[in-house]
Structure 1
Amino acid sequence: MVMEKVQGRGFLGVVFLVIVFLSVSSGEAQSRSFLVNCGANSSVNVDGRRWIGDLVPNDNFTVSSPGVAATDSTANGDSLYRTARIFDNGLNYTFSGVQGNYFVRLHFCPFPIENHNVNESLFSVVANGLKLLADFNVPGEISDKYLPLQNSNSNSSSLSLVKEYILAINDVLVVEFIPSKGSFGFINAMEIVPVIGTLFADLVRRVGGSDANVSGRGIETMYRLNVGGQEIKPDQDSDLWRKWEVDSSYMITADAGVEIKNSSNVTYASNNDSSVAPLLVYETARIMSNTEVLEKKFNMSWKFEVDPDFDYLIRLHFCELVYDKANQRIFKVYINNKTAADNFDVYARSGGKNIAYHQDYFDAISAKINTLWIQLGPDTAVGAWGTDALLNGLEIFKLSRSGNLAYGDRIGPTGKSASHLKSWILWLGIGAGVASALIIAIACTCIFCFCKSQRNEMSNTKDNPPGWRPLFMHGAVLSSIANAKGGAQTLNGSVAAFTRVGRRFTLSEIRAATDNFDDSLVIGVGGFGKVYKGEIEDGTLAAIKRSNPQSEQGLAEFETEIEMLSKLRHRHLVSLIGFCDEQNEMILVYEFMANGTLRSHLFGSGFPPLTWKQRLEACTGAARGLHYLHTGADRGIIHRDVKTTNILLDENFVAKMADFGLSKDGPALDHTHVSTAVKGSFGYLDPEYFRRQHLTEKSDVYSFGVVLFEVVCSRPVINPSLPKDQINLAEWAMKWQRQRSLETIIDPRLRGNSCPESLKKFGEIAEKCLADEGRNRPTMGEVLWHLEYVLQLHEAWMRTNATETSITSSQALEDLELRVAEDAQRRPSSLDEDTVRPRHEG
């Protein structure tokens, strides 16, 4: 009996050992890596790893065709990239004993090859039936990926490229290289590395929707960034050998975020997370810079070029390195201008400080989009204590569709592949360029002949004064305006532009008007330069704005200002008298506004305070000017720099919009916005415009909303000396306005001297102007209508000389609203006759 028990135990022990052996053997099979040095008959050691030459006999993989082995004997770089395998026909690499999920990395480094021009190579790659690349050109891909990110004259051929894929493999992996017709391909090295642990979940949160299933799909790594830190080399990433780039090259504004490092050891939330990213990624981060000053609606933004018509998995890596409790840093995550997450608290989600955490998102990119935006910014709903955002790392993965990961093989609307479409578009572009050049040449010839004839005519006219020719580029515009005003004025028989629109001053006239630019005559300084009070020869006072050569604004703003004011005439727009462009000077001459800027009458200048009625009239006048800009031209004009220093007051305190150097024509009828770089003044910028670079008329509306709060509160829009929650006027005022307690923070000089109901309505208008999304903001016409209503409320209150009687009664308000509505029906546009007639006749 005892012997039977011993024998039984011995049998179980043998079985156990066999199971262990099989498990170990299976694990070894699953964890096998293949490092292939293509085109080499020997092996090389690189970063502590041994790469086997594909000409060396071995049992790990087979090559279907020898092709041509090439060597770059002059190369001084990585020894792995000194050889390559060239193929004019199909070439297969077959790897056996591969089971599970693997990183498949293809290494390319073009170098001169005899009888082959690598710049003309074109080939496709297929792995187990999944197309990875189609009509692929390595030098072109290197140029697209790297050269835009470098401020150097680097030769793209000296750079290498690694294409990384994550594939599920069942025992055998076959990688096929297929040259395009009449071309060839090459490969320098291949790397097959097993994925450790579970890298991706089957279900991923969809941006703005339900979960998406990503299991079973091929994956291509598009971007992998170590945010806020240095580049992480493959040998620093445990056993997965991933490369992590720095993120600054992809940021829209690198200064929007500052780099921080951990002050103690970072750990993973669980052991399963160790394969997601190395701890080096979590030990550095980028947070918003100057959070004491930045508006909470502005973000850290990264922009990436991606292939259209694919699905993408975006992985964000987080680790709270500063705060040791929850609710200290809460922010929003935007992906392609859609809210992916709000109330994002890294500490709460990860479970503490210095704990690594990641979050995946799924988003589908349409066929018309080739960019992907990642933006992080504070959540405006959480209060001032959350004014910040944080990110440690970022990865973007492309997911296969219908067994395809190759963008070049996507079928276009004409039935041709994207590569053929690119070729067709290229030739179309060349043809269009040639045609454009011919048209420009013909136009220049015609203009030259016209100018020559004009000079001949003028040379036959005696005593032509030198200062009265219209600026060449705007002569047609100025002449048409002059004709519209009853014909051009003449001087000694020559045709002159309308004086109030575009008189061309000589520099000597400008010097005489400003006493040789005497600093005692300076009445303002702006982004363009100094503004002088001057007197031209007929005794007319003028504001003379001289460009500063060191200013960021220059010729473009100078031309824009003249162009805009040459075609705009409105009693609430400052009139342009003329300009001077002699001796590299850029000088603009405007009508003189005796009472200066609206801002100077609100705070900081010592001027007597404006009454509530004067402030309402100034706001209403400025709104009329902006409304005219938005509606007075075919496409409308967007001011783009609305602020209280650009609202000027004349001797009667009539408000006029000024400074059109940043103005842009509105979108065409078939467009909703103008795509342009962000410009404007800090504190007034529309956050939607800042995030998306989409400029609309509603961007002016947002800025005007900030102006309204500035008018009622009499304080700067940004004041870093105030407590943190009061630094930004728009945020501070909106906080009180949402509580319907704006009267708590208004200018104390208005208390008791203004209609409470008008203040209430005024705050509601400002609140609507500052809506997060432009589509939820009113038009300037609607803003103007409501401001006129507020002004009437106040005037009625003043007439009754009471604060708690008839005007605040509901019946009186209903009667007043009825009168205003009737007035609006009689005058659908708020522009009366004198808004389209110039204030000064020539």
Structure 2
Amino acid sequence: MKVQAMGMLGILWLVIIFGFTNIGKARRESFLINCGTNSSVNVDGRSWIGDTVPGNNVTFSASGIEASTGTFGGNPVYEPLYTTARIFTDNLNYTFRGTPGKYFLRLHFYPLAYENYNANESYFAVDSNGLSLVSEFNVPGEILNKNSNLLGSGGNSSFTSLVKEYFFSIDANVIVVDFIPTKGSFGFVNAIEIIPVDDKLFNDSVSRVGGNGGSSSLNLNKRGAETMYRLNVGGSAINPSQDSNFWRMWEVDSSYMVNSDAGSEIRNRSNITYPSPNDTFVAPLPVYETARTLSNTEVLEKRFNMSWKLEVDPDFDYLVRLHFCELLYDKPNQRIFRIYINNRSAADNFDVFVRAGGMNKAYHEDYFDVISSKTNTLWIQLGPDTTTGSAGTDALLNGLEVFKLSQNGNLAYVQKYSNLEGKKTSKSFVLWVGIGAGIASIAILAALVILIVWFCKRKNKDDDAKKTAPGWRPLFLHGSVANSTANAKGSTAYQNPNGTVRSGRRFTLAEIRAATNNFDESLGIGVGGFGKVYKGEIDDGTLAAIKRANPQSHQGLAEFETEIEMLSKLRHRHLVSLIGFCDEQNEMILVYEYMANGTLRSHLFGSDLPPISWKQRLEVCIGAARGLHYLHTGSERGIIHRDVKTTNILLDENFVAKMADFGLSKTGPSLEHTHVSTAVKGSFGYLDPEYFRRQQLTEKSDVYSFGVVLFEVVCARAVINPTLPKDQINLAEWAMRWQRQRSLESIIDPQLRGKYSPESLMKFGEIAEKCLADEGKSRPTLGEVLWHLEYVLQLQEAWLHSNAGENSVSSIRDLGPVDEGECEVQDAATSYEEHSGSISVTTHRLDPTDPMAFGVDQFSQLVNQQGR
């Protein structure tokens, strides 16, 4: 009994010791903070505590602004976390009570729209415990850069949020995260995540690239690191909930491969083991269950390889971690290869089986490299080592991580956000400010005199103009409208200082309120980037669509003026007509003709409306193409729409398509120029990648967007859908892969199956493919697209008549004469001449057998005249 008592006492002491040990470990707890709210939410299986919830072990120095949004366009899993944020205009720091050790810090950003805080104009810095993390940081710019990098690599280009992850060691009892907005700007953060890290995650000594077997000390106890890339090679994305140790996100690698076909995916989900318990923290098992191996290993020339191209920040040290697990071979000397990093040898005679100690054993290798200031690219390449006597010429990789190492306490790299219209500073700007100040001092006296005269002339003006808020002033206060004349019905012609004549009725706000029953929400028929659209009835009983600007919208006066200016000088059957506008009492309201059948998108998906037929879809596409072709060719320099999408193609009561929303439109380049240099604007998913990269707008940018519309018409799905598998998120890329295989029918809208001419679908796919050419010069014009779409319609009509018992294609209807005010392209070229503000149309018949008639290589119907 005494022995048993002593045994029980020993066990009790072990329990006590273990309990105290666990208590000590518990102090190194995780912090999951939902910023800008006093509510807690459950995301990816974890509870995120609001930053103002009492007793959350977190304090912050300033309250800032609690922001929230009711709209969310990202991954629905993160919607509860990303619909709130804390905005700060002054320095703000979060303080977390913890214990010394190593940690992962993750900062979550989603650029939500809140009041007049435009995320494009947000610039700030972040520090933590003396380590500079980012400087002059702009979240939308970072997201655009990431998407732009993937555009050239076949990526999904669908990032809408951003997570910045850092690794560092602290020797204090607190973790402090400082947010410092740039002077005159602001910053924001949606969520903060702090995860304690096992000491064995990184070894201090790692192999040096090109060092002939030498090694380098990372010294991570005194240096921080930023996670640049974490890729699951050969497998699907691994969500944080699948990595229960550190809740890491592992991306798909194919977007970063130079040629994804160079590596074949393999998988084996049985009996994967770690060589030691410490290695369980390195990566979760799903990373080692999939891999890429070389494709076409039996070719005679053995110099091919698998390559990943990664954009990094120059002038930093990098840690590259490669993950391996031999899934096929159960003996050594079966797969031996070389590893290259930035075209330098990192390892020769690499045999995973030997290094890991067997088959199905997880293994990783770290390499240290220095990126010079002259490059921002990191290349990872694996290829066969033909100097060995291995049985195969192959290579294998399961996972890839890249970490940027701090330099003198700094991880920040000032990024150039060239694609934003936001902050743009330079040294020359400072010089010009000084020169301008000198000139201004000389001109002050003259300015005072002018100001006095101006006030004298203004004192009898309407007081309403004085009450108008900055940025939302009526057009006549901006010099945009002058010399107006009105008739009895209120139709007015306005002429601005540059001589452009604008016509349209100026409505009073009282008339608009009467037409919309004081903006009754039940009359709302849509919401756009400019604001809400209401159905209204103006005084003569005519139905109208009334678009009211939202002061919190990212669009404003510029788009309002552009819309009026463009539609005042454009009249076409396939362009929505502007009836008038209202600019009273801080309001900006546009009145259009009413389109009874709404948007094209609503008839494709996302509503309860019955689907339209393939023939109707072709007629709608033809109508939209006619409207765009008129824009491009109907004036001396043409007009580029810049926001072509299915929600901007409206349908009237007869399903006649009309282009709408010209707020982003631009006048085309002059004869001596090939493009218009301008900041990137448009809708994601429809955006021309060439315009995105170069900021050079051309008519071919509209052609690209129209090509996306054509695929949307075929597939009846959203152009960006983050809920789909990785390779299907972006419609344009997904549909193009099927089109290049000539298998577009595999992804056609199920509502169309058996109801279309296979030949018409084939020609339609060829047109869309041409529109989405990488380079604008390789894309057809809208006139050429229109010609081929009309041919596709004739093929469909011939097929319908044939199925209805018709014996000849000759029964195809005559397309008839050109409608008044309409630019038809039916085996014809159209020229325009401008006379005193009016446009005359001249149509010349073309020979369809002439290969030079359309200026680009033709599709097969030019030599196959059946159906024309």
User: TM (normalized to structure 1)?
Assistant: 0.49
- Higher radius of gyration, 1 or 2: 1
Could you say which structure has the higher helix fraction? 1
